[in-house]
Chains A and B, each alone.
Chain A
């Protein structure tokens, strides 16, 4: 077919019309702010007289010398370890077993989805009430088996654990993601394992679970990024306390920016987080590439 050269130009006007709003929005709300964050982090940024005094790497030096930053950094790492150890695998296990249920499967799926209807903030407020040291449900139930009482959110030794526990229930969209990945494992692979004499339990370990490797890798990156960026649980449940035991980097950004108005310092921390997350993503991508080859 002949290409009409004149017509192409006419089409492009429509393309420009269709693309302009998106390009403007992405420049304005993503790229320019990102560049501005870098720029701001070199200044003692002042709202009255922007950009304020040039500090060079001063903000970064200040951060690396301050104990608050390292405490928050350590807490962020500790939270990551806790979340990975206690919650990341829960929806995978849930999906693996859900996959073995054939009757009423749809009902079980919607039941898994229901708790996710509680908005995150609402769920945290609810858990705060469950954790209430005097009238909470959890302490009352633990007392029945002779445990506690615990000051869940005001004891520095267990506050981190208390923040992680609600997400251990799993469920929600994540189960559906793993479940749909399981459904897409070709029937023949499972049949082949059957013929080879693998019993159902062995099949899960040797065929079905490895079939999830790809989606687990992707979910893991997203999970780590989400944990690094999690803010609401700490902000709502403990506000960073007790004795800074749950103060994470995101809370530091929020406090510096909107409590003490040190925008330069806040920008510097958020950039450090950006670089960390990008690095984790790169490593993970490299690893998953090696695995598939």
Chain B
């Protein structure tokens, strides 16, 4: 068929321009997202590397073998302290390196007597508490060891009679300090001269570990507010609760009210009340911010999730869209049901709602987007960390010194997931909603 068509002058150039411009715009607008993802996978050192790197480096699983053959101490307490010092003091010194896991193995007379494993997300989570400064003393670790144990940051295993090394460990021991690896060499040099340990260093070994590639995403769930003790789980939970309840309120209140406006009251009343609801679209959030806060305060709802949710119940746009949709429903059908003796409740819940699934889902998605993204109102009402929503928490993370940009970026990526899923799974629905609301103006 194509050959029959006359090729227009300019059609080719326009098409070419359209592709180039569209692809350019999309590429540029995806760069920040890509940068966010790449940054969220980096370690504390490469996040600050210059020039910026796009490919995150692979975290290294490091194992250190220390010999205690000469020492006389035998109690577990002593070895746990030794392991804790070797782990936490060493790692603090190299805190920004791409270390995914640190394992300290203690040897005595060629047999393994203890093993202590710490993954990087637990080190990062515990760092502000356990090693706030570079004070590397015995006294310090005596205070901190109970915390490390209680929070389970480091997994200790002691073998009273000792066990044999496994194959890989024997191999590591034979290699000693890996000379061809920068990190291992540095660690080796540091541990050789460090004076906080009793044992002597036998080997430092490292191997790339994909298992710890996503550790930044684990860290943010382990990081808790110092006063409140709540973390990302709480903020995500709050956001989900606020969003879900708000959607239910919008659909319930908006749907019933609009149906009444559209079908149950006289034309005059319907028009007047619709004005009453829809005119509030003109009232900007900022115009009523202060008195709304005072209202919520008088209701005793400051610092509660309901204080964030309740004001959402008045949403003029929902009434506007619902009413427009209900007005177009076929009246004869509803009238027939009425003559059959169905009550208005029945008609609404068993006939109108199934007929109006498109508008219910459209408003649900709009409400989801608006509430999930909301920042100002939760910021004003939720002063306590316990009621922070995700957006408020993200804002506070930027001023949190113990969180590097890489950790913040992984939080951003998590906050993006819900809307990403909605966009990909409901593209058709959103487009239909946009077309529909767009036509209405």
A-to-B contact residues, CB < 8 Å: 11-12, 14-15, 18-19, 21-23, 25-26, 28-34, 36-37, 40, 93-94, 97-98, 100-101, 106, 108-123, 125-130, 132, 135-137, 140, 166, 169-171, 173, 176-177, 180-181, 183-184, 194, 199-202, 204, 214-215, 218, 225, 228-229, 231-232, 236, 250, 253-254, 257-258, 263, 266-267, 270-271, 273-274, 277-278, 281
Contacts and interface: CB of A to CB of B under 8 A. Distances in A.
B147 interface: no
A263 to B, nearest CB: 5
B183 interface: no
B273 A19 contact: yes
B412 A171 contact: no
B213 interface: no
Contact of B415 (A12, A119, A169, A229): A119
Interface in B311-330: 311, 313-314, 316, 319
A173 to B, nearest CB: 6
Nearest to B288: A33
B191 interface: no
A14 B265 CA distance: 10
B interface, over-half SS: helix
Given A18-B256, A274-B284, A115 B434 contact: no
Interface of B: 8-11, 13-15, 17-19, 21-22, 25-26, 28-30, 32-33, 35-36, 39, 47-48, 50-52, 252-254, 256-257, 259-261, 264-265, 273, 276-277, 280, 282-295, 310-311, 313-314, 316, 319, 343-345, 348, 372-373, 375-376, 380, 390-391, 394-395, 397-398, 405, 408-409, 411-412, 415-416, 419-420, 422-424, 427, 430-431, 434-435, 438-439, 441
Contacts of B22: 94, 97-98, 101, 108
A157 B434 CA distance: 38
A179 to B, nearest CB: 8
A110 B416 contact: no
B261 A114 contact: no
Contacts of B435: 180, 183-184
10 contacts: A11-B264, A19-B260, A21-B252, A37-B291, A40-B291, A98-B22, A111-B30, A117-B419, A121-B375, A170-B25
A14 B10 contact: no
B294 A36 contact: yes
Contacts of A171: 25-26, 29
Given A19-B273, A118-B416, A169-B29, A126 B18 contact: no
A11 B412 contact: no
Contacts of A170: 25, 29
A interface, over-half SS: helix
Given A14-B260, A18-B259, A30-B283, A126 B35 contact: yes
A18 B439 CA distance: 28
A253 B290 contact: yes
A119 B416 contact: yes
Nearest to B12: A200
Nearest to B293: A257
Contact of B11 (A11, A36, A128, A200): A200
A119 B373 contact: yes
A114 B18 contact: no
Given A34-B288, A36-B294, A120-B373, 8 more contacts: A15-B264, A26-B280, A93-B21, A126-B412, A215-B438, A231-B376, A270-B284, A274-B287
B254 A22 contact: yes
B256 A21 contact: yes
A205 B409 CA distance: 42
A148 to B, nearest CB: 13
Contacts of A277: 282, 284
Nearest to A91: B25
Nearest to A128: B398
B260 A135 contact: no
A15 B269 CA distance: 11
Contacts of A271: 287
Contacts of A127: 32
Contacts of B373: 119-121
A122 B412 contact: yes
Given A14-B344, A114-B33, A257 B289 contact: yes
Contacts of B36: 118, 126
